[in-house]
Structure 1
Amino acid sequence: MLELNTVESGYGETQVLHGLSLKAQAGRVLAILGRNGAGKSTTLKTIMGLLPLKSGAIAFDGKPIERQPFRVAHDGIAYVPETRDIFPSLTVRENLEIAEARFRGRGGGDWTMARVLDLFPRLGERLDNGGTQLSGGEQQMLAIARALLMNPRLLILDEPTEGLAPIIVRLIHDKLQELRQGGLSMIVVEQNFGFATSLADDVAVVSRGQVVWAGDPAGIRGDTQAQARWLGV
């Protein structure tokens, strides 16, 4: 579905990705693991066109991916950044309506306002609250709900549990599991080893801008040497 082949990217003159290659398959969840600074978020930003592709190739459904973020989104990839990036001056309702109006029915998708509120009932209770009035967990729910209203074929999430209380982490895990069981393709960058490996079908471990381990969740859970070397687990 999405394939990165020897990708090099970074920030200005600072190169972060050094020939990174990985593949996300349709209908599956790929977890990208690694220490801070390994290149995980840089990988996602490069996919989305937020950082330049210095060399290598990125293909989505076999076609070279567009380099402008709005075109990547239009092609069916939705991105939930680590910073969530909801519109703080808008209400929950307005944040959702923007995405619903722009992407309604795109690609035959059936995500609607009613459906995302059914997935995240708490948002239904907060529809008229502004973005700055939401807790961190509510902001994360809103960011995911807004991405789903884009009716994506691939959902990308960067550190979805960052800074959240354990009870909210469990809730987010359960909701993403629902999406997985519904067949939505996902890429999840996550520091929480247990969260990521219990959700994923496939795992890629990144270090110094390269994939250094790839396999399934059972494989990485059983490879204590790889955990110690690449993850510090």
Structure 2
Amino acid sequence: MLELNGISSGYGETQVLYGLTLSAGSGRVTAILGRNGAGKTTTLKTIMGLLPVRDGEIRLEGHKLNGKAPFQIAAAGIGYVPETRDIFASLTVRENLELAASRGRSGAWTMDTVVDLFPRLGERMSNGGQQLSGGEQQMLAMARALLLNPALLILDEPTEGLAPIIVKLIHDKLQELRNAGQSIILVEQNFGFATALADDVAVVGKGQVVWTGTPDQIRNDAEVQHTWLGV
């Protein structure tokens, strides 16, 4: 589904990715793991066109994404939930969702179906974004991305700063999406959370993919965990 071949990218004069190669399969959850500063978020921003591709090629379902603007990449079928969530704090929950729905592709995800997935949002429709808890903001960011009816959903650190009970809720909702066949790329520091959801795991270190395998393989590889994850 998504192929990154020899990607180099970074910020200004600072290069972060060095020939990174990664693939994410259709209908599968691909977890990207690595230490802080390894290049995980840079990889996602490069996929989304928020950082330029200096070298290499990115393809979604065979179509080249290099050089496209972020809105064009979203329209091509990628829903992105950044670590910062980036909801519109001055808008209500309903307005945040309606804005996304008006720009989305046709598909199964509608205002009604995202509220079915996240009932709490249905109770908070008239509340402003700034009135939501961290967990509610994460639900809203995910619901907004789903309203684009993406072929691929990308999430950057969805459990960051959330209470354990909310982490469990987010896990359950992602498991529902996984069971429904949604293709997902998940960047996550929580090793147990990520490996419980993933079909495939890629470890990023020093701007490159240094290991790939299954959740069971990485759970049983203490050397990889210690060297590249600090677990």
With structure 1 as the length reference, what TM-score do the two structures score?
Answer: 0.98
Aligned mates of 1:11, 1:141 — CA distance in 2? 29
Deviations for 1:49-104, whole angstroms, at most 9, x for unmatched residues? 00010001111111211521000000000100000000000000000000112215
- Counterpart in the other structure of 2:42: 42
Task: Answer whether contact 1:9 1:54 (CA < 8 A) is retained.
Answer: yes
- Counterpart in the other structure of 1:87: 88
Which residue of 216, 219, 224 maps to 1:218?
216
Runs of 4+ in structure 1 deviating by more than 6 angstroms, as ranges, are none
Which residue of 166, 184, 187 maps to 1:186?
184
Matched, 1:110 2:108: yes
Matched residue of 1:103: which SS?
Answer: coil
Matched residue of 2:56: which SS?
Answer: strand
- Counterpart in the other structure of 2:121: 123
Aligned mates of 1:196, 1:123 — CA distance in 2? 24
Aligned mates of 2:229, 2:113 — CA distance in 1? 37
The equivalences for 1:1-233 within 5 A come to 1-66=1-66, 67-103=68-104, 105=106, 109-233=107-231
Task: Answer whether contact 2:75 2:105 (CA < 8 A) is retained.
Answer: no
Aligned mates of 2:105, 2:55 — CA distance in 1? 35
For this pair of structures, how many residues does the alignment match?
Answer: 230
Aligned mates of 2:117, 2:104 — CA distance in 1? 18
Aligned mates of 2:61, 2:116 — CA distance in 1? 30
Deviations for 1:194-215, whole angstroms, at most 9, x for unmatched residues? 0000000000000010001100
Matched residue of 1:73: which SS?
Answer: helix
Aligned mates of 2:2, 2:105 — CA distance in 1? 23
Matched residue of 2:103: which SS?
Answer: helix
Matched residue of 1:226: which SS?
Answer: helix
Task: Answer whether contact 2:19 2:208 (CA < 8 A) is retained.
Answer: yes
Task: Kindly provide the amino acid, as one letter, of the partner of residue 94 in structure 1.
Answer: E
Task: Answer whether contact 1:16 1:208 (CA < 8 A) is retained.
Answer: yes
TM-aligned CA deviation for residue 163 of structure 1: 0.3
Aligned mates of 1:207, 1:104 — CA distance in 2? 35
Aligned mates of 2:13, 2:103 — CA distance in 1? 36
Aligned mates of 1:18, 1:12 — CA distance in 2? 15
Aligned mates of 1:26, 1:215 — CA distance in 2? 16
Task: Answer whether contact 2:28 2:182 (CA < 8 A) is retained.
Answer: yes
Aligned mates of 2:229, 2:209 — CA distance in 1? 12
TM-aligned CA deviation for residue 42 of structure 1: 0.1
With structure 2 as the length reference, what TM-score do the two structures score?
Answer: 0.99
Aligned mates of 1:185, 1:97 — CA distance in 2? 23
Deviations for 1:3-61, whole angstroms, at most 9, x for unmatched residues? 00010000000000011001000000000000000000000000000001000111111
Aligned mates of 1:6, 1:60 — CA distance in 2? 15
| Structure 2: gaps spanning 5 or more residues | none
Deviations for 1:133-156, whole angstroms, at most 9, x for unmatched residues? 000000000000000000000000
Task: Answer whether contact 1:104 1:112 (CA < 8 A) is retained.
Answer: no
Matched residue of 2:135: which SS?
Answer: helix
- Which stretch of the first structure deviates more once superposed, 57-66 or 142-151? 57-66
